[in-house]
Structure 1
């Protein structure tokens, strides 16, 4: 007679993703209307790889650095053509505090971002932001900030 016992595998099934900041782009003249950004690229300051290159999109999810209290992105768009001299540049600076949230032994930790403040460079192609302050980013269910251009 033999005994066997099973132990539950320790897999992370909760998907404890550290949330990204979700930006949704809107028409500055009709704030209820989404407006795609044409030939859009975004790169974190100090990095060499772009998150998006030459995309047409009306929303993006951008990661924040959980090991720092600030993330800076350069956002580039070109609504005319693919000629570099026609690129429009904006710098988006995101300041925040972080909190680590323990999920489980197999999942580990994730970051939650609190007391977020956003500023964009002027002049830029970004006309305004729906808010400059976000109290918490702990999910990716909906847009956190609307960008009007």
Structure 2
């Protein structure tokens, strides 16, 4: 009888010590900046960029896109308030500066936090990039659609 009670007590302790597994099902991604490239003469038409190099100022590694593309996704630095990207097309470099404030958003215990970017402003030295729109954004909280349109 003592063995049964001790076994039952041990089983109750083991079962009560287990925690429910937490799995993050919401996929809370800190958003990246999505850029679409458009034709400067026909602002409604996407325009491909060939042999595009992209790198963040102060970084040694770059992203080389050896294909024709009309859209890119680049990360923003959640630990800073400004990031400068260099876009090189046909050996002409254009600096594109992004300023912002960051805001952490609690998602859940299993997912943790994600960072949203607020009061986002853009500027460019416009070498091969003729113009861009918009110059300011209220917030970047997802990456489901383009945030900036670059005309070249």
Richer in helix (by share)? 2
Q: 2:55 aligns with which of 30, 43, 50?
A: 43
Larger radius of gyration: 2
| Rounded Cα–Cα distance in structure 1 between residues aligned with 2:105 and 2:143 | 16
The structure in which a higher percent of residues are strand is 1
Q: Residues 60-139 of structure 1 correspond to what in structure 2 (within 5 A)? A: 60-78=72-90, 87-122=91-126, 124-139=127-142
- Structure 1, unmatched stretches of 5+, are 79-86
Please tell me the root mean square deviation across aligned C-alpha atoms, in Å. Answer: 1.6
1:142 to 115, 137, 145: 145
Tell me the distance in 2 between the aligned counterparts of 1:130 and 1:30.
14
Unaligned runs of 5+ residues in structure 2 are 1-7
How far residue 107 of structure 1 moved from its aligned partner, in angstroms, is 1.5
Aligned residues: 140
- How far the C-alpha of 1:50 sits from its partner, in A, is 1.1
In 2 relative to 1, CA 70–60 (structure 1 residues): closer, same or farther, beyond 3 Å? same
Task: Give the Cα–Cα distance (whole angstroms) in 2 for the partners of residues 38 and 112 of structure 1.
Answer: 31
CA distance in structure 2 between the aligned counterparts of 1:105 and 1:141, rounded to whole angstroms: 24
**Deviations 1:54-84 (CA, angstroms, capped at 9, x unpaired):** 3421001111001110011000112xxxxxx
Which whole-Å CA distance do the structure 1 matches of 2:74 and 2:30 have between them?
11
Runs of 4 or more, structure 1, over 4 Å off, are: 1-7
